């Protein structure tokens, strides 16, 4: 069972801060925390009240980035993720032989690192493989997104069906289009595999998503549905919604074959009341989900009259499945202008610029200009409020926002409240009485003595 969000005694102060404009609401008048170095319970309760008030505004949206999936084993692209490199090495080596496409991958890494000490000789790559087996590997501090960008830049310099290029001062100087295509394809597939979450041993991280959607459902029913926007490819939100019996309006319709029909976002769900007056009641367990960069569960198919976008969702992934994704490459911005992404980003822009809107940004580093442009547009609306959740916000975008001391911008940072799990468990309030749920679970347990707490 989840920890009660009002249990503030266990929250250490450390470097946790909660800014509203330039005011840190966790800081006491004399600048100290308390003698036990714990966050003051009353101050944290005050923040929960403020967040609760924000949740009751007419338009509430959440934007989730890669940081929200870390506790489930999701990859961060600031370095080459272990699981991606391991997958590439296993695919690109056989015995003592190293495939040329894998050599290209490490050449690109060396290029991104500005020719730093990255060893790309076959012997060193094979040693890297052994290090993975012995669990002695150190991460290669090369931004994976920039590495993919280098590979794409080289590929764009060559004709579609033929051509070679030389890279001076680097081994394997001759690169041809077929090797580059193979290297890019393996890198993308390794990224897709890394986004199949939660990883073994990381299943508890899924509980945070479950708690989040559970708490968001406590909003009054007379308000608009909560909008969940995610830049992640994984299906953690969908899994959490299934666990809570929530209907996600995600732009897909159908039962056996689910196809993308964005007009379905305009639909809602009601059930008839047990009266003769014909009144209906709004179904409470419904949310809107927008996967702005695609999903590992989406795939392309032949467009038809019934499926004009040629996109369908799959519950079961296989080796032949090719997901529909916006990969972290130089063409990322251009791809958002095409379908279906143009439709999804149009809806994102329309939602956040509505009057009395609140946007919670969690785990996003503000590295995508096409997303930042929409947030800048929303910040031009006087009634807009944004809550940023980041353990250590260092992006230029957030730095500029801090310098403006705008009280419409709230920032939760630190090792506890700046993380996805810390914010959801300790700051995001349950707008209904938590005691009611405790009593329900107690009764349920009494009637079902064999059920385990993990199943709750």
pLDDT by residue (tens digit) across 414-434?
A: 999 999 999 999 999 998 755
Task: Find residue 359's DSSP bridge partners.
Answer: 61, 386
CA pair distance 105, 119, nearest whole angstrom: 12
Reply yes or no on whether the pLDDT at 260 is more than 80: yes
| Residue 7, pLDDT score | 47
Tokens of 136: 């002695």
Residue 257 pLDDT level (bands cut at 50, 70, 90): confident
Across residues 135-155, what is the average pLDDT? Answer: 85
Least confident of 157-166, 179-188, 328-337, 429-438: 328-337
CA pair distance 132, 55, nearest whole angstrom: 45
Cis-peptide, bond into residue 337, ω within 30° of zero: no
In contact, 294 and 325? CB cutoff 8 Å: yes
Tokens of 80: 């080459």
Return the DSSP state at 61.
E
| Its pTM surpasses 0.75 | yes
Quickly count: other Cβ atoms within 10 Å of residue 401's Cβ: 22
CA pair distance 417, 12, nearest whole angstrom: 10
In contact, 15 and 415? CB cutoff 8 Å: yes
CA dihedral 329, 146, 377, 400 (to 10 degrees): 180
CA pair distance 195, 235, nearest whole angstrom: 8
Q: What Cα–Cα distance (Å) separates residue 328 from each residue in 76, 122, 144, 276, 302?
A: 12, 27, 9, 56, 25
Q: What is the DSSP string of 378-427?
A: HHTSTT-EEEEE-SS---HHHHHHHHHT-TTEEEEESTTTTSHHHHHHHT
Across residues 228-237, what is the average pLDDT? Answer: 96
**Beta strands in 17-73, from DSSP E residues, in sequence order:** 17-20, 23-24, 59-64
Return the DSSP state at 67.
G
User: How does pLDDT run across 153-169, given as a tens digit for each residue?
Assistant: 888 888 877 777 776 55
| Residue 136, pLDDT score | 66
| Helices assigned H by DSSP within 75-162 | 82-92, 100-112, 122-133, 144-156
Tokens of 391: 């353990």
Residue 334 pLDDT level (bands cut at 50, 70, 90): low
CA pair distance 343, 349, nearest whole angstrom: 10
Single out the residue of 231, 296, 290, 236 nearest to residue 65, CA to CA: 231
Return phi, psi of residue 305, to 5°.
-60, -40
Q: How much of the chain, in percent, has pLDDT values that exceed 70? A: 82
Return the DSSP state at 15.
T
Single out the residue of 344, 388, 389 nearest to residue 370, CA to CA: 344
Burial of 402 (0-12, 13-18, 19+ CB in 10 A): middle
């Amino acid at each position: 069972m989840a920890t009660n969000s009002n249990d503030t005694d266990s929250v250490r102060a450390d470097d946790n801060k909660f800014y509203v404009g330039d005011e840190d609401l966790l800081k006491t008048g004399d600048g100290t925390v308390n003698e036990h170095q714990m966050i003051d319970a009353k101050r944290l309760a005050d923040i929960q009240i403020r967040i609760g008030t924000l949740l009751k505004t007419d338009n509430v949206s959440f934007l989730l980035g890669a940081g929200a999936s870390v506790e489930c084993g999701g990859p961060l692209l600031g370095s080459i993720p272990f699981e991606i490199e391991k997958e590439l090495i296993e695919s690109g080596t056989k015995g003592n032989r190293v495939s040329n496409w894998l050599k290209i991958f490490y050449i690109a890494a060396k290029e991104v690192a500005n020719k730093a000490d990255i060893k790309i000789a076959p012997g060193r790559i094979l040693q890297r493989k052994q290090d993975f087996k012995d669990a002695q590997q150190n991460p290669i501090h090369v931004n994976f997104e920039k590495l993919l960008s280098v590979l794409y830049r080289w590929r764009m310099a060559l004709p579609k069906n033929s051509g070679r290029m030389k890279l001076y001062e680097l081994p394997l100087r001759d690169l041809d289009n077929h090797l580059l295509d193979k290297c890019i394809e393996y890198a993308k597939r390794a990224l897709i595999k890394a986004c199949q979450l939660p990883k073994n041993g990381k299943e508890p991280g899924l509980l945070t998503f479950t708690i989040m959607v559970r708490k968001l459902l406590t909003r009054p029913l007379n308000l608009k549905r909560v909008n969940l926007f995610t830049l992640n490819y994984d299906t953690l939100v969908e899994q959490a919604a299934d666990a809570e019996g929530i209907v996600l309006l995600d732009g897909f319709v159908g039962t056996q074959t689910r196809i993308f029909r964005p007009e379905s976002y305009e639909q809602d769900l009601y059930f008839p009341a047990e009266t003769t007056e014909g009144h209906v009641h709004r179904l409470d367990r419904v949310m809107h989900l927008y996967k702005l960069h695609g999903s590992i569960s989406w795939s392309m198919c032949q467009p038809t009259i019934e499926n004009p976008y040629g996109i369908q969702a799959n519950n079961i992934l296989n080796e032949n499945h090719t997901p529909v994704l916006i990969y972290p490459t130089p063409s990322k911005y251009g791809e958002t202008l095409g379908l279906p992404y143009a439709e999804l980003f149009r809806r994102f822009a329309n939602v956040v610029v509505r009057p009395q809107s609140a946007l919670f940004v969690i785990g996003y580093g503000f590295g995508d200009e096409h997303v930042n442009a929409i947030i800048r547009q929303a910040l031009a609306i006087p009634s807009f409020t944004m809550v940023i959740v980041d353990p250590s916000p260092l992006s230029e975008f957030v730095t500029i926002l801090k310098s403006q001391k705008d009280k419409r911008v709230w920032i939760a940072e630190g090792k506890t409240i700046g993380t996805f799990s810390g914010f959801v468990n300790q700051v995001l309030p349950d707008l209904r009485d938590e005691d009611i749920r405790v009593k329900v679970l107690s009764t349920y347990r009494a009637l079902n003595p064999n059920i385990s707490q993990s199943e709750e």
